A and B are shown apart, each in its own frame.
Chain A
């Protein structure tokens, strides 16, 4: 690396050339001089940057030369030299988005000539967000993004991102492309990201063919610009706390509830009055504990810190960007943490006047640490262990509950360390072909090490593991003997293996991507013509190898140190391969920059399917009409830009799994013990479907975009509609249950998804010092199952029919409330069917049990009485709005983000007390009694009554929420002060993530991802940060 830097620095001296010398100044729209603006002579790569007052001098070859002025955050401008020798250039802030450059599939386009629906997020918008995983920065920032963050666990906390909702029952993940190649993006250092583009309609995604139907996220990393070197530091220190830590009843409440539950079933009380008193007064903390289990197991104000150093600059010959990033995230307990190290280097060199060579290296190392007992199990234990159990004793030892020790699981179970090594490399060479003006060719070769989690190739957001080491130790726990005085504490058991077990595994995956580009752009009078052809081939290979030993006599976690007994040793390994070959094109034609036409598409082949079913063609067509270029509008001064656009096209999705066309068998280990030894087993895979192929999405989009009052208002609105057919669906219900095997998926489902999205923005300078801004976006998407396989029992019942309803609509009984004592006519405490008139066949009914609606009036509650009771957990509406204000050096921006049109079904420990011996939540305190007939929860029973746990509307919660996703207050030190410290710019800020949340789900974060609530909660982060430019 050091050598590389020396090379970069030595190459930055520009080579002077004879010609015309021009000079000038560059200022912002306030008239202030802008330092470090890059000025490049077009098509030569030769360039300079402005000095501290914004002045520059540059030599150009002749008067036909064109100067390109660019500066981060401002719109690029091109000015022909002509006769002018003194330039006074004003750059306007990019916020107006009058004509920024947008990254599109396999290239860039001007926003003005775009006919596709694409949202962009600037890297600088998310660089300072205190998140380890950038997928958590996207919610609310751009129209079209629907995201749900499922967990807050360090190293595993990525959001699932949906673009314009869900259009399939299969894989819904968008394709993620980093610098032109499908790659995992979530752990890229946000400081090295230049832009994120969200490709939404057919015109945008068609160049991705079979991979584009769920939308595409394009990430480009930063490249250097000609000019003086800039060394930047940015960093923050933050403190994390769960947005919501589920609250449980205390010991006294728990004991009282247990007794009440027993009374309801005629059993004797669990706890005596003496016990209750002791729980209440807390005078016997070891004999009658009162623990707040989840709270005591977790730490507050855990650290999240990030530091980043980057260097960028260059000359007309060579430009570079290099970045080094470090991030450390502590978990809610000491054994959980995440460290990330990123190293990026992008070098662009002008090898000859017409040849550009680029090298891009992006490496990272991620350390994830967890307890050997997995996090889900720790939460299971934490939800289970009631306040009355000895979580820990007053002497620091720890106790157990039902043979399990939540505290021991966390702190004494060993560790699980996984390290991810990723190296993304790309070399490209671009050649202008001087014999035809505007024609260039380019070749790019990429080699990615561990681009995907090899065991989860369809989920690019999955955590990458290269090396895993899991050391599981015995987990001792203690018991208190309360019959002796003083109490005695003895080692009572072990919640782990008898002797340590060590498991070590390697996952390795590598992808080779070869791309060849032919690019042609030219202007003939008022005709703009563009042509792009790309050939692409991609090959991914992955290998997994693991070994473990048990019965360690020495506590040194190395494989060799384990027992050498054959049954204590095991190993496993497998490999996989993927191939793809494609050709794609884009042809664009514009007339007078007013009428725009574009067609693009891809001929795409994939190894997933049988020979003959592997190649598909996915074309798209789009039109744009720049009304603001028409004479009748051009004169309307308040309309700066107005464009109508529309697109239609097809794209595909690899929804299922590969090889479903093959009749095959799977081999697995340890199937059975025969003759005293373990034997392998072999089973038949799902019945093959030789004609299986990709899903096909037909996408339509109509959009309008505009800029009014010179950027005072920008807006963009889209209506979209997608029909997914050939949808892969396992038709298992068309064969009898006696068939004995599942069927491979067939391409016969249909689904539609329609909606709209709106983006608004404004920027207004109240005075020279005060500037206010607002941006907002909203996405609404509603899907509908058009054709799925259903049995007649649901299809024939309009209440139960899945077809015609949104995917994952919740079905269940409609709860009418409770049986009350008044319903018990004979006063025997039991609600007989004769007393209610409807038979609910889920056990004996008592007052305080839920009453369900007999929708078909047949006198008995059966599945035929099911009705839709709620919406799916994926929100139909997602929105964000972000007011901002700046005053002199101060800037304040807040991002509100919300979701609506979503329901969440709570079950088990999230909803009912005492499930499988578990504790009860604070919400469960509001339970039915004759005196509390309208309680939130049914009568108490020692284990939840099966009548009350039937799927019903009672347990559906509105999942709408609004939160302050981020808020940031910054102060930029005046230039004249910072310069004294030889700092070009300095900004300090305080920032926060998930600061405030409003939701009707009270005891969980509204993005709760598991219906029983047992998960690592999302985190609220408050940070202090600093950005410096040297």
Chain B
């Protein structure tokens, strides 16, 4: 017995000596050596970056709530308290779920830089490098364009920053807005050659995605001839070759059964109960059958938006010849209206949604801002799938909605082209062709011939608002048109419907919680967050004006 104790001591004594005996290999981590030698593993790194693209079908307070298109049905989110009120400061800036945050985007940009650097230096095949590096550079350009639209010129980081090796070189000053744009567009152009027309796997970046991003950024910057050229290339080379075309059914385009169709250029995919969308019960009608709250009513379309839809004959409701009757405001409207808006009496999610007053409907326009019911008298229909069961099952992660979220679709390319071409050259036939293709899909007649450049501008903007409504595009349009300080300082309206069927009275009322503020002298750009300025001496003294 004693000898065994001595032996134990000896063993313990020896074991304590060796440093290596404390080695533990963590099994939940991979090393450089593993990640960048195997294309499958490197792909998994790239997948993480794709996953960081905006998750627009999981926002309960989408970006159109920042605009005159819609108002959130509940009173607490960022749109109503921060953005709409222009109540943000460099130290309190918050976008809710919309991923425009400075730090988040730079984290994503670093991921791209790590991938680009490591794959470039790796011994992976040239074929792999060519295609995947192009994707990563496109994704980096995408994140930069979010920053650029939000903050203007930003520091352009293309290297993997390393404080121990690079010293003070890790502090990078802002590039100008033009320089930042030039980086985004040149990257898009450079990688487009290496990107496929159609993705080998749905959801990955394509040539069309790179060109669309480029053409959009050029349009955003007012570089119209460049934008027209870029968008024309998409129409001619990809549209003409049958890669892209308008999906015949505007409403159906957004439904899961039509995911990844030929109008889709760049999008995010969802898988029910795994990594799904939750937009149906975030944005759907608040109360459905049985009177229980099954959705949050996160987007109440405004009367201004409803009024923007054309009549079925293609005319604006303000046109004396349109046939619009304010006492039957929802009759004879264009198809997109019925495919986008839920109004009083619409059958939707197995129920008739009544927003009229006086019949005790819980969906009645919520003028007291009492609960989540729409404050406008309208609910969103576009992008929502009424085959889905609403309620907590849908809104609890991982959710159950399967439809794609579209960053870019072909209709936008046509609109981008028409606008750029009209500004650069004037309303030529190619402009008419582009807009009429969009109108044609909605069964509307073409635009009147002979419009002046300025009439065409109004027509394109009007068409664009309707076609791209509730797709998180409107805010950026108001910014680049420089009309935000006009549009966003005007009250928005909902509809108070009183009376009985046949004798309804429709009274536009100001939306409770819909009042907005936008200061022309500063709000066209968001402030650079204070933490970014505090941590980078080269940003000091270079805050955006007005903050």
Residues of A within 8 A of B (CB): 258, 262, 265, 267-270, 351, 355, 400-404, 429, 431, 441, 443, 474-475, 477, 479, 481-483, 490-498, 514, 516, 518, 535-537, 550, 567-568, 574-583, 603, 605-607, 611-612, 614-615, 658-659, 662-667, 670-685, 687, 733-741, 743, 791-793, 841-844, 862-863, 915-917, 942-943, 946
Nearest CB in chain B: distance from A431 CB, A: 6
Q: List 22 A-B contacts (CB under 8 A).
A: A270-B370, A491-B290, A497-B393, A498-B389, A535-B9, A577-B24, A581-B16, A607-B22, A614-B19, A665-B31, A673-B268, A681-B51, A735-B163, A736-B535, A738-B109, A738-B532, A739-B163, A740-B106, A740-B157, A842-B87, A917-B371, A917-B372
A738 with B161: CB separation less than 8 A? yes
B163 with A678: CB separation less than 8 A? no
Q: Which of B96-116 contact A (CB under 8 A)?
A: 102-103, 106-111, 113-114
- CB < 8 Å: which of B2, B29, B92, B107 contacts A659? B29
- CB < 8 Å: which of A475, A577, A737, A842 contacts B103? A737
Q: Given A567-B273, A679-B47, A842-B87, does the pair A493, B30 have CB atoms closer than 8 Å? A: no
Q: Given A403-B391, A429-B1, A493-B290, does the pair A659, B26 have CB atoms closer than 8 Å? A: yes
Q: Which residues of A contact B289 (CB under 8 A)?
A: 492
Q: Is B469's beta carbon under 8 Å from chain A?
A: no
Q: Which residues of B contact A605 (CB under 8 A)?
A: 16, 19, 22
Nearest CB in chain B: distance from A584 CB, A: 11
Q: Which residues of A contact B201 (CB under 8 A)?
A: 674-675
B102 with A737: CB separation less than 8 A? yes
Q: Is B21's beta carbon under 8 Å from chain A?
A: yes
Q: Which of B22-80 contact A (CB under 8 A)?
A: 22-24, 26-32, 35, 41, 44-45, 47-48, 50-51, 74-76, 80
The 4 residue pairs across chains A and B that have the minimum distance between CB atoms: A740-B110, A492-B292, A681-B48, A492-B290
Beta-carbon contacts of B381-399 to A below 8 Å, as 1s and 0s? 0000000010111011010
Q: Given A684-B111, A738-B157, does the pair A733, B535 have CB atoms closer than 8 Å? A: yes
Nearest CB in chain A: distance from B225 CB, A: 32
Q: Given A612-B19, A659-B26, does the pair A516, B12 have CB atoms closer than 8 Å? A: yes
Nearest residue, chain B, Cβ from A841: B89
Q: Which residues of A contact B295 (CB under 8 A)?
A: 403
Most chain B CB neighbours (cut-off 10 Å) among A491, A577, A664: A664
A664 with B368: CB separation less than 8 A? no
Determine the distance from Cα of A535 to Cα of B157 in the docked complex, in whole angstroms.
Answer: 52
B292 with A942: CB separation less than 8 A? no
- CB < 8 Å: which of A269, A516, A733, A843 contacts B8? A516
Nearest CB in chain A: distance from B476 CB, A: 23
Q: Given A498-B393, A681-B44, A683-B45, does the pair A862, B535 have CB atoms closer than 8 Å? A: no
Q: Which residues of A contact B468 (CB under 8 A)?
A: none
Q: Is B222's beta carbon under 8 Å from chain A?
A: no
Q: Is B318's beta carbon under 8 Å from chain A?
A: no
Determine the distance from Cα of A612 to Cα of B82 in the docked complex, in whole angstroms.
Answer: 52
A479 with B203: CB separation less than 8 A? no
Q: Which residues of A contact B367 (CB under 8 A)?
A: 267-268
Determine the distance from Cα of A400 to Cα of B107 in the docked complex, in whole angstroms.
Answer: 40
Nearest residue, chain A, Cβ from B531: A737
- CB < 8 Å: which of B163, B271, B391 contacts A493? B391
A258 with B370: CB separation less than 8 A? yes
Nearest CB in chain A: distance from B1 CB, A: 7
B31 with A535: CB separation less than 8 A? no
Q: Given A402-B293, A403-B294, does the pair A664, B26 have CB atoms closer than 8 Å? A: yes
Determine the distance from Cα of A404 to Cα of B294 in the docked complex, in whole angstroms.
Answer: 9
Determine the distance from Cα of A576 to Cα of B111 in the docked complex, in whole angstroms.
Answer: 27
A431 with B2: CB separation less than 8 A? yes
B368 with A267: CB separation less than 8 A? yes
Q: Which residues of A contact B89 (CB under 8 A)?
A: 841, 862
Nearest residue, chain B, Cβ from A611: B19
B293 with A403: CB separation less than 8 A? yes
Nearest CB in chain B: distance from A416 CB, A: 15
Nearest CB in chain B: distance from A15 CB, A: 21
A739 with B19: CB separation less than 8 A? no
Q: Which residues of A contact B536 (CB under 8 A)?
A: 736-738
Q: Which residues of B contact A739 (CB under 8 A)?
A: 106, 110, 161, 163, 170
Residues of B within 8 A of A (CB): 1-2, 5, 8-9, 12-13, 15-16, 19-24, 26-32, 35, 41, 44-45, 47-48, 50-51, 74-76, 80-82, 85, 87, 89, 91-92, 102-103, 106-111, 113-114, 155, 157, 161-163, 170-172, 201-204, 268-275, 281, 289-296, 360, 367-372, 389, 391-393, 395-396, 398, 400, 512-513, 529-532, 534-536, 539
A685 with B389: CB separation less than 8 A? no
A493 with B532: CB separation less than 8 A? no
Nearest CB in chain A: distance from B336 CB, A: 28
B26 with A917: CB separation less than 8 A? no
B41 with A682: CB separation less than 8 A? yes
A567 with B9: CB separation less than 8 A? no
- CB < 8 Å: which of B111, B203, B393 contacts A740? B111
- CB < 8 Å: which of A479, A514, A574 contacts B290? A479
B170 with A667: CB separation less than 8 A? no
Q: Given A268-B367, A516-B8, A667-B28, does the pair A673, B291 have CB atoms closer than 8 Å? A: no
B392 with A403: CB separation less than 8 A? yes
Q: Which residues of B contact A662 (CB under 8 A)?
A: 26, 29, 31
A671 with B273: CB separation less than 8 A? no
A737 with B274: CB separation less than 8 A? no
Q: Given A477-B292, A741-B110, does the pair A402, B371 have CB atoms closer than 8 Å? A: yes
Q: Given A429-B1, A493-B290, A736-B532, does the pair A673, B110 have CB atoms closer than 8 Å? A: no
Nearest residue, chain B, Cβ from A672: B51
Nearest CB in chain B: distance from A683 CB, A: 5
Determine the distance from Cα of A351 to Cα of B111 in the docked complex, in whole angstroms.
Answer: 65
Nearest residue, chain B, Cβ from A580: B22
Nearest CB in chain B: distance from A474 CB, A: 8
Nearest residue, chain B, Cβ from A742: B107
Nearest CB in chain A: distance from B203 CB, A: 5
A681 with B47: CB separation less than 8 A? yes
Determine the distance from Cα of A735 to Cα of B389 in the docked complex, in whole angstroms.
Answer: 47
- CB < 8 Å: which of A270, A568, A673 contacts B269? A673
Q: Given A403-B292, A581-B22, does the pair A665, B271 have CB atoms closer than 8 Å? A: no
Nearest CB in chain B: distance from A693 CB, A: 13
Q: Given A270-B368, A443-B8, A674-B269, does the pair A666, B24 have CB atoms closer than 8 Å? A: no
A863 with B91: CB separation less than 8 A? yes
- CB < 8 Å: which of A580, A674, A736 contacts B50? A674
Q: Given A673-B270, A736-B172, does the pair A917, B111 have CB atoms closer than 8 Å? A: no
Q: Given A733-B534, A738-B161, does the pair A674, B368 have CB atoms closer than 8 Å? A: no
Nearest residue, chain B, Cβ from A514: B12
A400 with B110: CB separation less than 8 A? no
Most chain A CB neighbours (cut-off 10 Å) among B44, B92, B163, B281: B44
Q: Given A659-B29, A739-B161, A740-B111, does the pair A792, B87 have CB atoms closer than 8 Å? A: no
Q: Which residues of B contact A351 (CB under 8 A)?
A: 1
B30 with A682: CB separation less than 8 A? yes
Q: Which residues of A contact B171 (CB under 8 A)?
A: 736
Q: Given A671-B48, A843-B87, does the pair A483, B360 have CB atoms closer than 8 Å? A: yes
B114 with A684: CB separation less than 8 A? yes
A735 with B75: CB separation less than 8 A? no
Nearest residue, chain B, Cβ from A444: B8
B81 with A943: CB separation less than 8 A? yes
A443 with B9: CB separation less than 8 A? yes
A946 with B45: CB separation less than 8 A? no
Determine the distance from Cα of A578 to Cα of B85 in the docked complex, in whole angstroms.
Answer: 53
B45 with A611: CB separation less than 8 A? no
Nearest residue, chain B, Cβ from A400: B292
Determine the distance from Cα of A829 to Cα of B389 in the docked complex, in whole angstroms.
Answer: 46
Q: Given A497-B393, A680-B44, does the pair A550, B81 have CB atoms closer than 8 Å? A: no
Nearest CB in chain A: distance from B158 CB, A: 11
B51 with A676: CB separation less than 8 A? no
Nearest CB in chain A: distance from B424 CB, A: 35
